Amino acid sequence: MTEWWRGGVIYQVYPRSFQDTNGDGIGDLPGIIDRLDYIQSLGVDCIWLSPINRSPQADMGYDVSDYQDVDPLFGSLEDFDSLLEQAHRRGLKIIMDQVISHTSDHHPWFQESRLNRTNSKADWYVWADPLPDGTPPNNWPAVFGGRAWEWNPTRGQYYLHNFLTAQPDLNFHNPAVQQAVLDVLRFWLERGIDGFRLDTVNYYFHDKLLRSNPPSTKPEHLPYAVNPYDMQEHRYSKSQPENLDFLRRVRALLDEYPGSTSVGEVGDSHRSVELMAEYTSGGDTLHMCYGFDFLGPEYDAGHFRSRIEKFFRVGPDGWPCWSFSNHDVIRHVTRWASFSEDPQALARQAAALVLSLRGSVCLYQGEELGLGETELLFEELTDPRGIRFWPEDKGRDGCRTPMPWEEGPAPNGFTTGTPWLPVKAAHSALNVARQDADPNSTLSFYRQVLHWRKDHPVLATGDITFLETPEPILAFQRTDGDATMLCLFNLSARPTQMTLDGLGTSTPDPISTGATLANGTLSLAPNAYAFIPLPAPI
């Protein structure tokens, strides 16, 4: 089935924090192999591996120094081949992170490029002369703080880095760079990978004229952003129109390998949904994209409805991949805590919601346990963003702590050594072994709802139509031919009711929780959800 990805469920593994087998406190590929039966038991279709390429680890692997090797922290190419083989044997696909908008400053390409202005890689990165007063060529900021330009005295120029100074940006306006990147993708496709998650996919191209970005509009009564990056509209530093033609080249390559797929990460606060639709439309661009619209603090019906309706209005033949948590954001059980008095009830409702939306789904390791954000001390941090902006922004370490596998004291079977980030008491109590033995646990529910989704194909690929309902009720129906499923959610910590006409003798599916239907009135307990199969659209 070449379109397995359409409506498929992807499980993100953060290798550092999944399972360590050699006692160094860092997860590895053999550890993932050891846990494949667990992943298979969830009922997902695919594993997304966060970066495993060779790297100095300045940004936890998102600074690649060798695209065609595995970092020794995680194992070897032979370990990768074994993981791929054993995952495929279990019916699991594997996609891997490809971080190609930038490299590490240790990469041989950059080491050559920085030497002078005449070498064979001189134009492989984004270099610019200073202004007459010695300052950078424009006002572009870096995501992790400071200017996006770093001075190189050897060339007498600045180079662009959208993230850390150790992550110089590749120059995609150079056809040789595009071809080199495509050759990297082909290397892994030839090895048998099932596709790629493309990091920061809208950052590939920059404005050739290096025009300064305009300020972002800010209501006068609001304080300045914690990070100056959020004070600009990034009109020229990313999301350029040239990106589409390169994405078509990526798709053409993937089409040579039937069944392979692509998921693009779109980071753009001003027009994320539009770019997601644009980058997946036409059948000759990416297969899927995700943005950060559902990775923020909003948890209300109007927000979910507006984002989903806009995506399919802008790109009716595009395809989204929705997620509520990943390695870059505060875990959603913590992020949305004010909408529930029971974190595990919120975790189950969120699972039921994301798995019933039109599109594909990405789940982040540990969310099936109901894990919240880990509170860390400053001295425990490793994330450069958190170290720079503490305490207003504590960075991303709190969502990256190790998986708790076994009963007992921390680190709960993750490692026999000292874990790279601590496992604290709240996560220890939610370990896999304990939840595995409890049919009423969040883990048991995730397995149940994932298998239930497979039994109802309408949820994977059916059309979606929203009903007019007041907050905090989100209601929509999924329709595919004669199959129709009515999906309703109380996105709050208080009970609520709504009237449903024309349901006849229909009753909520047993997967529903906290919902009762009597005489046309649906009663929803706090964080309740109801799925009602219908013979035809109402």
Residues annotated as catalytic (active site), given as ranges: 199, 256
Between CA 356 and CA 361 the distance in angstroms is: 9
Query: At residue 488, what are phi and psi to the nearest 5 degrees?
Result: -135, 140
| The token pair that represents 260 in the structure block | 């392979």
Between CA 475 and CA 468 the distance in angstroms is: 8
Residue carrying structure tokens 């990405």:
362
Side-chain-facing half-sphere of 337: CA atoms under 13 Å: 9
What distances in angstroms separate CA 89 from CA 37, 81, 258, one per listed residue? 11, 12, 18
User: Strand, helix or coil at 473?
Assistant: strand
How far the first Cα of the chain sits from its last, in Å, is 32
Which H helix or E strand runs over 149?
A: strand 149-152
SS (H, E, C) 235-265: CCCCCCCCHHHHHHHHHHHHHCCCCCEEEEE
Question: Which residues make beta-bridge pairs with 96?
Answer: 49, 196
| The token pair that represents 357 in the structure block | 């939306």
Peptide bond into 411 cis (omega under 30): yes
Ordered alpha helix ranges (H), 429-513: 432-436, 442-455, 458-461
Peptide bond into 391 cis (omega under 30): yes
| The token pair that represents 44 in the structure block | 């997902």
| The token pair that represents 187 in the structure block | 């290397």
Would you tell me the crossing angle of helices 343-354 and 442-455 to the nearest 10 degrees? 20
- C-beta of residue 196 within 8 angstroms of C-beta of residue 97: yes
User: Strand, helix or coil at 274?
Assistant: helix
Between CA 431 and CA 424 the distance in angstroms is: 11
CA-wise closest residue to 233 among 198, 207, 209, 208: 207
Between CA 47 and CA 93 the distance in angstroms is: 6
- Show Cβ contacts of residue 307 under 8 Å, excluding neighbours closer than 6 positions: 273, 293, 294
- Show Cβ contacts of residue 41 under 8 Å, excluding neighbours closer than 6 positions: 447
Residue 229 has what DSSP assignment? Answer: G
